[in-house]
Amino acid sequence: MALVFDRPKSLTDKKFHYCPGCHHGIIHRLAAEALDELNIQQKTVVIASVGCSVLAYDYFDTDAVQAAHGRAPAVATGVKRASPESVVFTYQGDGDLASIGMAEIVHAAARSENITVIFVNNAVYGMTGGQMAPTSLMGQQTSTSPQGRSAESNGYPIRVCELLATLDGPSYLARVSVHDPKHVREAKKAILKAFQMQIQHQGFSLVEVVSTCPTNWHLTPVEALEWLEKKMLKQYPLGVFKKIEGVE
Amino acid sequence: MSLVLKKGNEVVGEAAIRSGCRCYFGYPITPQSELPEYLARRLPQVGGVFVQAESEIAAINMVYGAASTGVRVMTSSSSPGISLKQEGISYIAASQLPCVIVNIMRGGPGLGGIQASQSDYFQATKGGGHGDYRLIVLAPSSVQEIADLVKEGFQLADTYRNPVMILGDGILGQMMEPVDLGSGDVGELPDKPWAARGKKGRRSRNVINSLYLDSEKLEQLNLSLQKKYRLIAERETRAETYLTEDAQIVVAAYGMTARICKEAVDMVRKKGIRAGLFRPITLWPYPEKELRLAAQHSQAVLTVEMSAGQMVEDVRLSLNGEVPVEFYGRLGSMVPSAGEVFEEIQRISKKIGEVK
């Protein structure tokens, strides 16, 4: 019988530890499929960050470096500059990338470091138990904004793609989602594009994936998908925010 | 041997290149900025990588990334910048990555000043960042020794897969002295089969990591680190002694302060006081045995530092009460003069005489 669907080669056999309804599993798979299809598994180094995806180095069947909270773009810079033939990507959450690691991501983008960033935005700190993130929505209740995020005490959520799009450095910035099969397919295309940019020496590429955290949103997986579609996508519209021309 | 006249900070950079270092990540801070400036010029000439990072935090994490690929890599800063690097240094030590970190110390605490100091001894030798780890800490006292210890530092880092700190001070960084930089022929650099550059057909993955959620595994990591540190402590202590064979009073000092103390020893010798100098070159591991040997016939040890008294604790621990230990220090970037140390030795000599 012909095998039509299998685990990507670029994933290990290790079972994901992620909660039911969490999108990390899908996003890991899409990244791994991209590595397989571009035939770059053997030269890829993944930079794992701090957050729920801290154990990414257990899941990607590639060499890996685990980075301190927020520092993944700096670590990736070091790896890529010292080993330019390697394909280097970071896998970061919103607390990691948009709060403690804001300086590192902005400057890696500004330098146009030839790396790829997969940025998972689920509007909450997952691993530490559902605290407010820089991307939490206005009014969103979290364990550190129990009355809901207010402009007065917490300020406003950060749109990372739009912010980075003001820079000259990035070659490709896209925001995607994986809340239904159509969007999964589009997300896959964006992730492929981001890696292609790196392979073609075009400089910094980033794909932001708007995703769910049913556990810390206190919703069922199905409710979480609805919340993402109705609330998250209003604050974080999908689309391509930067794409340099002439790259196929 | 060919001598050139060169500034300490620049010699750090040239010696690194001649040690096979091709990657440098740093951030400007006085009094070491000549070092990144020098490497910004020199590294591209030898096909190397120079990145001015957005912060010291980013710089040390770039070092962590580059070291993960197995290349020889260096960063440098001065005291407040080194404080910022501590997070990354702890990760590098835990992940057992080789690299060289240069601290050209200035006065603290806080923003402090921009002149020379030795007040980061605790930070360098006792941890600095979180967790049970050690840096190998080398303390040059001349521009020539900077060149020698940078080379040795890269070798030690590779041998033990451990970060090495070159602990200098603002005077040493800024002064010019004749120096023999050597050929720069480092031969074949050691193979690093653990490096993460992509699997390249390997069956197993190379993972650079310091996360161990299982406490038993984390204890195993710590035990193996401690075993390594004991080995380093057994093998790698370095010290210089000067006129200690018959010394009644041994002056213990490192770096620039040791040079001042050497002059003071010569001055008191002319007065008939038998003094000698003990200069640790490795601050960690501390040359305890060497100090005990140097002080075995002495009646007092005088520790002199540009700090409120930091190394003096290791002097006391080494001697363990066998010899009385005195301290003289100047703070906030004030430099003790040979005359001041001369007075101190005379005072102690008199005290010893009275006890007799």
Same domain, B179 and B272: no
Size of interface A-B (CB pairs under 8 A): 139
| Average pLDDT, integer, range A90-114 | 98
In the predicted model, what is the mean pLDDT of chain A?
97
How many helices (DSSP H) and strands (DSSP E) are in chain B?
12, 15
- Could you tell me if the ipTM is greater than 0.90? yes
B335, pLDDT greater than 90 = yes
CB contact under 8 A, A75 and B201: no
Contact of B225 with chain A, judged by CB distance below 8 Å, is answered with: no
Same domain, B169 and B42: yes
Residue B336 sits in a domain whose CATH number is 3.40.50.920
**Amino acid sitting at position A132:** M
In a domain, residue A108? The reply is yes
Contact of B199 with chain A, judged by CB distance below 8 Å, is answered with: yes
A67, pLDDT greater than 90 = yes
Non-local CB neighbours of A33 within 8 Å, separated by 6+ positions: A8, A10, A188
| Average pLDDT, integer, range B27-52 | 97
Chain A residue closest to B70 (CA)?
Answer: A82
Among B257, B240, B266, smallest CA distance to B337 is for B257
CA distance B328 to B338: 12
Same domain, B254 and B204: no
Residue position matching structure tokens 């995607």: A176
Q: Are the beta carbons of B283 and B137 closer than 8 angstroms?
A: yes
Q: Kindly state the helix (H) or strand (E) to which residue B11 belongs, with its residue range.
A: helix B8-17
B320, pLDDT greater than 60 = yes
Most A-contacting residue of B27, B39, B68, B211 (CB-CB within 10 A), to test interface: B68
CA distance A244 to B172: 48
Number of domains in chain B: 2
B207, B235, B263 - which closes a domain: B235
Q: What is the β-pairing status of strands A124-125 and A131-132?
A: antiparallel
Same domain, B191 and B312: no
In a domain, residue A173? The reply is yes
Closest partner residue to B69 among A66, A68, A82, by Cβ? A82
CA dihedral A105, A109, A110, A112 (to 10 degrees): 140
| Average pLDDT, integer, range A93-112 | 98
In the predicted model, what is the mean pLDDT of chain B?
97
Non-local CB neighbours of B237 within 8 Å, separated by 6+ positions: B282, B285, B286, B287, B288, B289, B290
B356, pLDDT greater than 60 = no
B181, B210, B235 - which closes a domain: B235
A248, pLDDT greater than 70 = no
Q: What is the pLDDT of residues B217-235, one digit of tens each?
A: 999 999 999 999 999 999 9
Contact of B66 with chain A, judged by CB distance below 8 Å, is answered with: yes
Residue B143's pLDDT band (boundaries 50, 70, 90)?
very high
B1, pLDDT greater than 80 = no
| Average pLDDT, integer, range A181-186 | 98
Contact of B62 with chain A, judged by CB distance below 8 Å, is answered with: yes
B220, B235, B250 - which closes a domain: B235
Chain A residue closest to B63 (CA)?
Answer: A78
Check residue A16 and give its pLDDT: 95
Domain that holds residue B155: 3-235
Same domain, B227 and B310: no
Same domain, B247 and B190: no
DSSP letter, residue A145:
B
Chain A residue closest to B200 (CA)?
Answer: A42
Q: What is the pLDDT of residues B45-73, one digit of tens each?
A: 999 999 999 999 999 999 999 999 999 99
Domain that holds residue A193: 24-141+153-243
Same domain, B211 and B74: yes
Q: What is the pLDDT of residues B256-265, one digit of tens each?
A: 999 999 999 9
User: What are the percentages of helix, strand and coil residues in chain A, rounded to 5?
Assistant: 40, 20, 40
In a domain, residue A66? The reply is yes
In a domain, residue A126? The reply is yes
Contact of B226 with chain A, judged by CB distance below 8 Å, is answered with: no
Number of domains in chain A: 1
Check residue B24 and give its pLDDT: 98
Same domain, B230 and B245: no
Q: What is the pLDDT of residues B273-287, one digit of tens each?
A: 999 999 999 999 999
Residue B143 sits in a domain whose CATH number is 3.40.50.970
Same domain, B192 and B294: no
Q: Which residues of chain B lie closer than 8 angstroms to A90, CB-CB?
A: none
Same domain, B187 and B103: yes
Angle, helices B143-160 vs B8-17, to 10°: value is: 40
In a domain, residue A179? The reply is yes
Alpha helix ranges (H) inside A1-114: 24-37, 56-59, 72-82, 94-95, 102-110
Residue A246's pLDDT band (boundaries 50, 70, 90)?
low
Q: What six digits make up the tokens of A3?
A: 């095998």
Give A169→chain B minimum CA distance, Å: 15
Give A174→chain B minimum CA distance, Å: 24
Same domain, B271 and B210: no
Same domain, B276 and B203: no
Q: Which residues of chain A lie closer than 8 angstroms to B207, CB-CB?
A: 57, 63-66
Closest partner residue to B198 among A43, A54, A68, by Cβ? A43
B121, pLDDT greater than 70 = yes
CB contact under 8 A, A63 and B206: yes
Q: Which residues of chain A lie closer than 8 angstroms to B209, CB-CB?
A: 48, 57, 64-66
Contact of B73 with chain A, judged by CB distance below 8 Å, is answered with: yes
Beta bridge partners of B304: B328
